[in-house]
């Protein structure tokens, strides 16, 4: 198969096997205030994994853009990326292990599809522990298909278990597929720690629901979530040894080389990866900032700028690379072209901003001596010179020094200058939480959104939100502090819906109809796609996958506890539910 046909063939194969294609979600999840980014195909689909019927059916196929910075320090090796696409097939309570594995096997080995020789494949299955038994069923299925027992590894939870996306929720054992990508002979025995084996696909068998006490209970339905790494398989099909030598990356690498005076491989790869991710984030109209997604974006751009210095790039360069990325990817991702002015302007602005502090910060760093960069020094570099902690760590390791990360974190918390979610914590754990309190606050966020529009006007556009079981946070465009009486008015409006026991209802409709009906939402969906629209009486109407409470009366008393500015023209409200 030609690499350029990979996406098409994948979709075609699963449609032929009874699946329906759904469009992907944005990288910045719309209406999932419990996650910063879409880091796996399952995030936008959690409600359906928990049993809510999906309007498109029980067997779906999609291509999902993902962003992961959890293993950012691995970027620079052969196959790690922060932005990537996942090809996924889904069963919501429909087919199970046998069908899932058989379909994976056919797609991998059939000449009509990937045509990978069986000798180059290895698989892993869950080896069992106190929470769940070893996955002998999957092992037997692989053997029945001709995978020798030498090529099947049984591994523990760290390697062969997926989910939950947050602290609680759907999860289960998985079976991963690896391809031997090295030019050396394939070893008889499969050992995933050998770097010649590249993980290319993961079949997750989601049959458990992890609760807040850490217990694994059976889910209402057994689900299959699979994810194939598009860029990895694309590179294998092109016959190259690493992702950066594939045609997805060569135009970017060539452009960087054109501007560089040295050829440090790792720096080239990191710049290509980070600026590609940054370009896709900017394309969703997120600007660099000191909070949440904007902070991650800032970090990616600044880490790339620093690497540019290592390559001897003297002039500003990030907008030039972004332009190459836009030019090369726009045919497939039209939103890059559509938002190219925003992307180029913002990325260049960020480089100019960093330019003002980078030199000075480097000289401050140069004066640090000893074995360790202290927490206070690392925090100063961050606070006053805008050095992401990862950058300070890189600089330190180049000098054979360590960074007191614990000290840095405690300084960080003391100063509370940034939202906690801008730190890695949110990445590691703050995802797709579906606890009762979070669901209530999710409904309250919809009420707040509508109340703000009614009190302050249509210009109040949602800019982001974040919910945990204790409180909701809501960012919206508005350029001044709310007056005391406006805060009261918003609260009263929300509380009136609660007192009036207004019903929450859900309808399925075509996205175009939803738009015409005045539902609030992100209308980047394809025409003809079916979406859910949640209404709270006549007060609020929004496109959203849920979940929500069934009646506003369940919420208690809504209270705004804080408001502040979080950047030019953006206000943040924190609110709670009492009682």
The residue (of 66 and 456) whose beta carbon lies closer to ligand SER is 66
Nearer to ligand SER, 84 or 412 (CB): 84
Buried b (16+ CB within 10 A) or exposed e, 14-23: beebebbebe
- Measured from the CB atom, is 226 or 540 closer to ligand SER? 226
Nearer Cβ to ligand SER (43/299) = 43
Rounded least distance, CB 64 to ligand SER, Å: 8
State the minimum distance, in angstroms, from the CB of residue 40 to ligand SER: 4
Q: Kindly tell me the burial class for residue 292, based on how many C-beta atoms sit within 10 Å of its own C-beta (0-12, 13-18, 19 or more).
A: buried
Q: How far is the CB of 204 from ligand SER (least distance, A)?
A: 5
Taking the complex as a whole, the smallest distance from the CB of residue 41 to ligand SER amounts, in Å, to: 5
Q: Write the Ramachandran bin of 546: left for phi over 0, alpha for psi from -120 to 50, otherwise beta.
A: left
Please report how close the Cβ of residue 60 comes to ligand SER at its closest, in angstroms: 12
Helix, strand, coil shares of the chain, percent, nearest 5, are 45, 20, 35
C-alpha torsion angle, residues 293, 224, 60, 446 (rounded to 10): -40
39 neighbors 83 (Cβ within 8 angstroms): no
Asked if 88 is part of the footprint of ligand SER (rule: CB under 6 A), the reply reads yes
List, in sequence order, every residue forming a beta bridge with 85; answer none if it has no partner.
65
Which of 166, 170, 227, 546 touches ligand SER (CB under 6 A)?
227
Find out whether 256 and 113 touch, Cβ atoms under 8 Å. no
The site that binds ligand SER (CB under 6 A) totals a number of residues, namely 11
Q: What are the backbone angles phi and psi of residue 375, rounded to the nearest 5°?
A: -60, -40
Q: Closest approach of Cβ 420 to ligand SER, in Å?
A: 25
Q: State the nearest-atom distance from the C-beta of 310 to ligand SER, in Å.
A: 32
Sites for ligand SER among residues 307-346 (CB under 6 A): none
Q: How many residues does the chain have?
A: 579
- Residue 202 or 466: the one with the smaller Cβ distance to ligand SER is 202
Cross-strand bridge partners of residue 509: 531
Structure tokens at 282: 């900017």
Q: Phi first, then psi: give them for residue 569, nearest 5 degrees.
A: 70, 10
Q: How far is the CB of 227 from ligand SER (least distance, A)?
A: 2
Residue 60 in tokens: 């779906």
Q: Which two tokens stand for residue 325?
A: 């990325």
Q: Residues 196-225 vs ligand SER: string with x where CB under 6 A?
A: ------x-x--------------------x
Cα 44 to Cα 14, 304, 496, 517, distances in angstroms: 20, 29, 31, 23
- Segments in 466-539 forming alpha helices (H): 484-499, 511-516
State in angstroms the smallest separation of the CB of 331 from ligand SER.
26
Residue with the two structure tokens 């953006």: 570
Nearer to ligand SER, 40 or 296 (CB): 40
- In the complex with ligand SER, the residue whose CB is nearer, 23 or 418, is 23
Nearer to ligand SER, 232 or 307 (CB): 232
State which of positions 20-59 bind ligand SER (CB under 6 A).
40-42
**Which is closer to ligand SER, CB of 161 or CB of 365?**
161
Binding residue (CB under 6 A) for ligand SER from 109, 226, 393, 421:
226
Residue 162 interacting with ligand SER (CB under 6 A):
yes
End-to-end CA distance of the chain: 60
Q: Which two tokens stand for residue 367?
A: 């004066």
Say which residue the tokens 């023209």 belong to.
Answer: 569
Show the DSSP H helices in 164-283 as ranges.
230-238, 250-259, 265-282
Residue 86 or 147 with smaller CB distance to ligand SER: 86
Question: Which of 82, 35, 38 is closest to 63 using CA atoms?
Answer: 38
DSSP assignment letter at 115: -
Minimal distance, residue 110 CB to ligand SER, in Å: 21
- 3 state DSSP class of 147: coil
Tokens of 97: 């292990």
User: Smaller CB distance to ligand SER: residue 40 or 378?
Assistant: 40
Residue 122-161 contact track with ligand SER, rule CB under 6 A, x = bound = ----------------------------------------
Show the CA angle centred on residue 393, arms to residues 390 and 395, nearest 5°.
Answer: 110
Q: Which residues contact 334 (CB under 8 A, 6 or more apart)?
A: none
In terms of CB distance, is 58 or 463 closer to ligand SER?
A: 58
Q: What token pair was written down for 7?
A: 């996406």
CB of 479 to ligand SER, least distance (A): 40
CB of 172 to ligand SER, least distance (A): 10
Closest approach, Cβ 568 to ligand SER, in A, equals 36
**How many CB atoms sit inside 10 A of residue 433's CB?**
25
Minimum Å distance from CB 160 to ligand SER?
A: 11
Measured from the CB atom, is 163 or 294 closer to ligand SER?
163
- Assess contact for 555 and 577: CB atoms under 8 A: yes
432 forms part of the interface with ligand SER (CB under 6 A): no
Would you say 40 or 233 has its CB closer to ligand SER? Answer: 40
CA atoms within 13 A on the CB side of 6: 22
**Which single residue brings its beta carbon nearest to ligand SER?**
227
Burial of 579 (0-12, 13-18, 19+ CB in 10 A): exposed
Q: Which spans of this chain sit near ligand SER (rule: CB under 6 A)?
A: 40-42, 86, 88, 162, 202, 204, 225-227
């Amino acid at each position: 198969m030609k690499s350029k046909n990979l996406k098409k063939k994948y979709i075609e194969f699963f449609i032929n096997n009874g699946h329906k294609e759904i469009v992907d979600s944005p990288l910045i999840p719309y209406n999932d205030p419990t996650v910063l980014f879409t880091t796996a195909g399952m995030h936008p689909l959690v409600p359906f994994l928990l049993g809510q019927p999906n309007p498109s059916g029980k067997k779906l196929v999609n291509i999902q853009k993902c962003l992961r910075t959890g293993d950012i320090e691995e970027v620079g090796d052969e196959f790690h990326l922060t932005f990537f696409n996942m090809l996924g097939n889904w069963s919501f309570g429909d087919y199970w292990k046998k069908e899932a594995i058989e379909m994976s096997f056919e797609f991998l080995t059939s000449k009509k599809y990937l045509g990978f020789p069986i000798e180059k494949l290895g698989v892993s299955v869950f080896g069992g522990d106190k929470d769940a038994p070893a996955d002998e069923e999957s092992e037997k299925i692989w053997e029945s298909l001709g995978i020798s027992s030498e090529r099947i590894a049984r591994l523990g939870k760290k390697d062969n278990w997926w989910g939950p996306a947050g602290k609680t929720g759907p999860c289960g054992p998985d079976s991963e597929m690896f391809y031997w990508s090295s030019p050396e002979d394939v070893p008889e025995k499969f050992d995933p720690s050998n770097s010649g084996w590249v993980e290319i696909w993961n079949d997750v068998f989601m049959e458990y629901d992890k609760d807040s006490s850490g217990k694994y209970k059976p889910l209402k339905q057994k689900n299959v979530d699979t994810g194939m790494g598009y860029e990895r398989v694309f590179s294998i099909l092109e016959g190259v040894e690493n992702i950066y030598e594939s045609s997805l990356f060569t135009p970017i690498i060539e452009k960087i080389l054109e501007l560089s005076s040295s050829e440090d491989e790792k720096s080239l790869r990191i710049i290509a990866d980070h600026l590609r991710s940054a370009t896709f984030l900017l394309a969703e109209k997120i600007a660099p900032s000191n909070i949440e997604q904007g902070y991650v974006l800032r970090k990616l751009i600044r880490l790339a700028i620093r690497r540019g210095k290592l390559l001897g790039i003297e002039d500003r360069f990030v907008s030039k690379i972004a332009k190459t990325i836009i030019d090369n990817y726009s045919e497939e991702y039209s939103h890059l072209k559509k938002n190219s002015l925003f992307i180029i302007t913002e990325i260049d602005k960020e480089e100019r901003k960093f330019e003002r502090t980078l030199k000075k910060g480097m000289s401050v760093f140069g004066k640090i001596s000893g074995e360790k960069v202290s927490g206070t020094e690392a925090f100063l570099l961050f606070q006053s010179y805008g050095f992401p902690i990862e950058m300070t760590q890189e600089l330190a390791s180049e000098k054979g020094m360590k960074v007191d990360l614990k000290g840095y974190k405690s300084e960080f918390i003391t100063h509370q200058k940034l939202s906690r979610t801008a730190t890695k914590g949110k990445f590691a754990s703050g995802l797709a939480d579906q606890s009762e309190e979070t669901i209530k606050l999710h409904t309250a966020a919809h009420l707040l959104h509508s109340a703000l529009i009614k009190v302050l006007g249509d210009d109040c556009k949602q800019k982001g939100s974040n919910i945990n079981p204790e409180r909701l946070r809501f960012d919206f465009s508005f350029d001044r502090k709310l007056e005391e009486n406006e805060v009261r008015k918003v609260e009263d409006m929300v509380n009136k819906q609660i007192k009036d026991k207004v019903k929450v209802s859900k309808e399925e409709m075509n996205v175009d109809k939803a738009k015409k009906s005045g539902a609030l939402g992100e209308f980047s969906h394809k025409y003809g796609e079916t979406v859910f629209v949640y209404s709270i009486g006549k007060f609020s109407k929004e496109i959203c996958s849920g979940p929500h409470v069934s009646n506003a009366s369940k919420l208690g008393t809504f209270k705004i506890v804080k408001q502040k500015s979080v950047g030019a023209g953006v206000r943040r409200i924190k609110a709670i539910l009492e009682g």
